[in-house]
Amino acid sequence: MNLRPYQSEAVAAVYEHLRTRDDNPCVVIPTGGGKTPVIATICRDAVGPWNGRVVILAHVKELLEQAADKLRHIAPDVPVGIYSAGLKRKDLGYAVTIAGIQSIYQRACDLGPVDLLIVDEAHLIPPDGEGMYRQFIADAKVVNPLARVIGLTATPFRMKSGPICEPGNILNHVCFEVGVRELIVQGFLSPLRTKAGLQKVSTDDLHVRAGEFVASEVEDLMDKDALVEGACAEIIEHTKDRSATLIFSSGIRHGQHIVEVLKSKHGVECGFVSGDTPAGVRSDILDRFRSGSLKYLCNVNVLTTGFDAPHIDCVALVRPTMSPGLYYQMVGRGFRLHPGKADCLVLDFGGNVLRHGPVDAIRVTTDDRGEGEAPAKECPQCHALIAAGYQTCPQCGHQFPEPDKQKHEAQASTEGILSGQTTREEHNVSETTYHVHMKRNDPAAPLTMRVEYRVGFNHYFREWVCFDHTGYARTKAEAWWRARSVEPVPASTEEAVELARAGALAPALHITVEKKAGEQFERVVAHRLGDKPPRFEGDEGLPEYAPAGTTYGIPDDEIPF
């Protein structure tokens, strides 16, 4: 089995770290990027040329099975044992032991001296205290004080404590890292995209406990008839031409509600698995999903790591999470390539992309409050991301209403799932207004005309037209005006606003709005206009131009340039 170039680089980086440093390395490879071949190669070299012994630790049996399979391909001559109650094996005395941490954590001494402890999903090692991983590693170092730990993960951070690699932690240094976007560009991961929608679910009134939203509150928030029915309708609409849709729900009751609505309202079968699903039933459902005979599968916190179904081409997050790692792992179920799979659609009903950022540029913040509101929310007026505790937006002065847990939408987020990813939305315009805009704290700056388009009931998009500028900005403003009016191009912003309010411009019927993931502001990039009004016969009916120094009551500066 030939390693991909970045996998070979990861192996070389581990060896370089072990030669030149006396602490423990970590390798960061995205979900679906192939951590297991890296592990298998290190095991082959450790046992062969170096005559060492290795233990591979993981927390789910699927990861243990993957490691055993890759070792058989890469190093068929290496003796491999498995220690896992779930796999009904308790092998001892092998050069390589693949072990479930729940089964082995009190049995380190039974294995005898080992040289390398390789931890898959290494972000699960707690930063302090005891825990199963820390107990096993401590006991293994009693038997062999020179044993080294190698971690592999896709998410090198924890919600409560931040980076997993620190001087005082088990793992100390990221020796190799490759990103999601890089592997997509190289053709090793599936492209991702989000659908074009508008509304986002509100989690402003949820509390946080132990770094995550309180589960009972999340389920109460999400498990409303209108919300579930709306989400299911949107899932069906956007997956008509897709092969496999994996749905993450907020709880068992909520997941069963989703399954029932998909069956009763849309006539489709959706499987359901949770931690309470009997092993045999769960295995049958997963086999049907992998084979393609079951198109929709809903789960509660059981298919986030170790579950491999490469044909998944839609992931629906019908739940919010405060954990950037969990958010990443859920989206990561759609990373893998599969014949005939063009991309993976991410339907985010929980505001997770907005909360954590694009999946290749996740924002990690620590939060030691124990409980409290979600850390960020979006201002509907200026679209700034601000702390959830604000009742008045510090950017534009918008007053937030009192929190209402019942108010949330049933549509997926529009946020791009990859940084720099551009999404476009199209909207019918119900009203257009024109305003003189003065740059905040800079009275010498040229005025601009702020054009506000109302879409829907009470949602606005804005663009700025720079009549008082020079060069390219003025040329662009002139072209903007000529596309809408037969009147001469105004000499100033004040004149332009006066004429616009008097009816000199063609109405905007439809706009296209572009948003780049990771950027704060949307941009209006295209318009469909009505007919240009006829030329004014004279000055009758035209208002006087406002005198210099007029205060226009414009809020804080929100121009995205």
CA distance 236 to 173: 44
Q: Is the pLDDT of residue 282 over 70?
A: yes
pLDDT band for 305, please (50, 70, 90 cuts): confident
Tokens (6 digits) for 388: 């959830």
Tokens 């919600």, residue?
159
Q: Is the pLDDT of residue 402 over 60?
A: no
Tokens (6 digits) for 492: 């100033």
Mean pLDDT, all residues of the chain? 82
pLDDT at 158: 74
Q: Is the pLDDT of residue 93 over 50?
A: yes
Please state the separation of Cα 448 from the chain's center in Å. 36
**Burial code of 27-49, b = ≥16 C-beta within 10 A, e = fewer?**
bbbbbbbbbbbbbbbbbbbbbee
CA distance 122 to 119: 5
More confident residue, 114 or 393: 114
pLDDT at 554: 39
pLDDT at 193: 82
Name residues whose C-beta falls within 8 Å of residue 397's C-beta, 6 or more positions apart in sequence. Answer: 381, 555, 556
More confident residue, 277 or 547: 277
pLDDT band for 485, please (50, 70, 90 cuts): very high
Q: What is the mean pLDDT of residues 64-81?
A: 87
pLDDT at 444: 83
Q: With left for phi above 0 and alpha for psi between -120 and 50, is residue 162 left, alpha or beta?
A: left
Q: What is the mean pLDDT of residues 523-550?
A: 69
Q: What is the mean pLDDT of residues 148-161?
A: 82
Domain ranges of the chain: 5-178, 192-386, 422-529
More confident residue, 444 or 486: 486
- Residue 333 phi, psi (nearest 5): -65, -20
Least confident of 120-124, 157-161, 442-446: 157-161
Q: What is the mean pLDDT of residues 301-319?
A: 86
Q: Is the pLDDT of residue 494 over 80?
A: yes
pLDDT at 439: 80
Looking at the chain, how many residues does it have?
Answer: 561
Tokens (6 digits) for 6: 């970045």
Three-class SS state of 415: coil
For the chain, give the percent of residues with pLDDT over 90: 43
Where does 192-386 sit in CATH, by number? 3.40.50.300
pLDDT band for 294, please (50, 70, 90 cuts): very high
Nearest to 1 by CA among 40, 31, 29, 35: 40
pLDDT band for 548, please (50, 70, 90 cuts): very low
Nearest to 242 by CA among 153, 308, 338, 109: 338
Q: What is the mean pLDDT of residues 308-312?
A: 90
Q: What is the mean pLDDT of residues 61-78?
A: 86
122 DSSP assignment: G
pLDDT at 380: 58
pLDDT band for 547, please (50, 70, 90 cuts): very low
CA distance 449 to 145: 71
More confident residue, 367 or 514: 514
Provide the sign of the torsion angle of the four alpha carbons 64, 67, 68, 69, taken in this order: positive
Tokens 């789960």, residue?
299
pLDDT at 356: 79
- Residue 401 phi, psi (nearest 5): -70, 165
For the chain, give the percent of residues with pLDDT over 70: 78
Q: At what angle do helices 252-266 and 225-238 cross, to 10 degrees?
A: 60
Q: Is the pLDDT of residue 393 over 80?
A: no
Q: Is the pLDDT of residue 41 over 80?
A: yes
CA distance 297 to 176: 34
CA distance 501 to 533: 13
Shared fold status for 5-178 and 192-386: yes
pLDDT at 66: 83
pLDDT at 87: 86
pLDDT at 215: 63
More confident residue, 53 or 421: 53
pLDDT at 369: 36
Name residues whose C-beta falls within 8 Å of residue 398's C-beta, 6 or more positions apart in sequence. Answer: 379, 380, 381, 382, 392, 555
pLDDT at 223: 60
Considering the four listed CATH numbers 3.90.180.10, 3.30.60.50, 3.20.20.70, 3.40.50.300, the one that applies to the domain covering 5-178 is 3.40.50.300
- The three-point CA angle 50-18-155 to 5° equals 115
Q: With left for phi above 0 and alpha for psi between -120 and 50, is residue 354 left, alpha or beta?
A: alpha
pLDDT digits (tens, 9 = 90+) for 248-261: 998 898 999 999 99
CA distance 528 to 506: 10
pLDDT band for 550, please (50, 70, 90 cuts): very low
Q: What is the mean pLDDT of residues 312-341?
A: 89
pLDDT at 204: 57
pLDDT at 167: 87
8 A C-beta contact, residue 165 and residue 26: yes
Least confident of 115-124, 279-288, 387-396, 456-465: 387-396
pLDDT at 364: 64
